[in-house]
Chains A and B, each alone.
Chain A
Amino acid sequence: MTDRSLDTLIDEVVLGLASDADIARVEALADSDPEVAKRLEQARQTFAPLDDTAEVLPLPEGFWERIDARLEASEAGGTVIPLAEARARRIPWRSTALGAIAATLLMAVVLGTTLMSERDPLVVAVLLDAGGEPVALIESGVDNTTRVTLLERPDVPADQVMQVWTKPDEDGPPVSLGLLTGGRSRTLTIEGLPAPNSRQLYEITAEPAGGSPTNLPTGPILGVGLAKEPVI
């Protein structure tokens, strides 16, 4: 990439015009290259005066209490891992870059399975581990029938089991889709959830045998990813 096109890309990220893939690319570059990080910060500072032109609006009554309640709710679970955050924390920047590569590499797998399945999945997610390696492929239909294809032999202790989770509501609690007993790929079914949407979060954690005792993820995250709608 030329310097000029990188600068343009950085500007587009700051303006909000860049695609998700380009945002991930720039953030990955900024994480690995202080020079890019500096240019990104500079672009942000260039446009930041526009934020100051916004009106200062009064915060409605009880605004802090609502925020506080949300902080309390996420703490009340004790060991509950806020999923989106856990993803950001556990998986370093390169996961986003590698995610794009992994997604490309997996296109063949995705295409293969989607073409073969009788009903096309509504969403597909590639779950990545903390090192950014793809570990599982999730395909979910409109009724939340979820095919989980493991891409690596799981390294889970004998007294633990892999549990698959999703967050039908971005701000709501994670919901268990089921267990991968024996560490094998499986198709899981669940009733009562809304149809999965793109950007819905999926993850697999290691839980005590029989599944999480709290019915919320407690164990380490083995893989996590956001769903996308396949191009069919």
Chain B
Amino acid sequence: MADFTGASTGGVSTIVTDHAALISACAAGEKQALKTLMKAEGGRMLGVARRMLRRSDLAEDAVQDALVLVWRRAHQFDASRGSAKGWLYTILRNRCLTMLRQEDREVATEADQIEATSQEAVLTAAFDGLETTTGLRQCLERLDGATRQAILSSYVLGHSHGEIAGRLDAPLGTIKARVRRGLLKLRECLS
């Protein structure tokens, strides 16, 4: 998935990215570790940011910001509390969400108009991209279409309750309740 080759033995290259070790090395001030992390995850991070921010320039900014934050916060990372990759993507997603919520409405609206149709396609691609064996996919499949759409568009596109309500042309309270019921069903299904 990435062009970072962790080790190469006897012509067999093993692609291993030890995210936790790289983050620890960042905490120790090793810039090369951040560069390795960027090479391993940067492309995927850019894809995640692009889906949410819909503009490549903003997505690049978000990934840059996230990696600088990873560097600065590396000492806070605690491997006993969660996965390193999760930590990395949480930083990225939070950065994207902040940018989305701060984004000039005019620009956002314009981008919405340009890409309104493709957002459905993005959601479909995200859902189809989930391996059929994952619990998330199996459980999302059991939800009704609108609820699944709402949950996916919050995570994948970074949409707020308000934006989801707008897109589905439903009252805000209805959407909030629907998402909550959907999340409850998902948890029950996954447990």
Residue positions of A touching B, CB distance < 8 A: 4, 7-8, 11-12, 14-17, 37, 40-41, 44-60, 63-64, 66-68, 70-71, 74, 82, 85, 88-89, 171, 199
Q: How many chain B residues touch A (Cβ–Cβ < 8 Å)?
A: 63
A60–B38 alpha-carbon span in the complex (Å): 12
CB of A85 within 8 A of CB of B125, answer no
Residue positions of B touching A, CB distance < 8 A: 1-2, 31, 34-35, 38, 42-44, 46-48, 50-51, 56, 59-60, 64-65, 67-69, 71-73, 75-76, 81-83, 85-86, 89-90, 93, 97, 102, 125-131, 134-137, 151-152, 154-156, 158, 160-161, 179-180, 183-184, 186-187, 190
CB of A85 within 8 A of CB of B73, answer yes
- From known contacts A41-B86, A54-B47, A67-B68, infer whether A59 and B38 are also in contact, taking CB-CB under 8 Å: yes
Contact of A49 among B43, B134, B183, B184 (CB under 8 A): B134
Chain A nearest CB from B91 CB (Å) reads 11
CB of A68 within 8 A of CB of B31, answer yes
CB of A85 within 8 A of CB of B50, answer no
Minimal Cβ-Cβ distance residue in B for A64: B35
Chain B nearest CB from A106 CB (Å) reads 24
CB of B130 within 8 A of CB of A16, answer no
A67–B68 alpha-carbon span in the complex (Å): 7
A199–B99 alpha-carbon span in the complex (Å): 12
CB of B86 within 8 A of CB of A12, answer no
Residues of A within 8 A of B186 (CB): 11, 46
Q: Supply 10 further A-B pairs (C-beta < 8 A) apart from A56-B43, A68-B31.
A: A15-B151, A16-B155, A37-B81, A41-B81, A44-B83, A49-B136, A50-B156, A51-B48, A57-B43, A89-B76
Residues of A within 8 A of B85 (CB): 48
A190–B186 alpha-carbon span in the complex (Å): 53
Q: Mind listing 21 A-B residue pairs with CB under 8 Å? A: A11-B187, A15-B154, A15-B183, A16-B154, A16-B158, A16-B160, A17-B161, A44-B86, A47-B136, A48-B85, A53-B129, A56-B47, A57-B43, A57-B56, A59-B43, A60-B60, A63-B64, A64-B35, A67-B67, A82-B72, A88-B76
CB of B129 within 8 A of CB of A48, answer no
- From known contacts A51-B48, A53-B129, A54-B48, infer whether A67 and B1 are also in contact, taking CB-CB under 8 Å: no
A88–B94 alpha-carbon span in the complex (Å): 15
Minimal Cβ-Cβ distance residue in A for B43: A56
CB of B183 within 8 A of CB of A57, answer no
CB of A71 within 8 A of CB of B86, answer no
Chain B nearest CB from A112 CB (Å) reads 30
A110–B130 alpha-carbon span in the complex (Å): 49
Minimal Cβ-Cβ distance residue in B for A17: B154
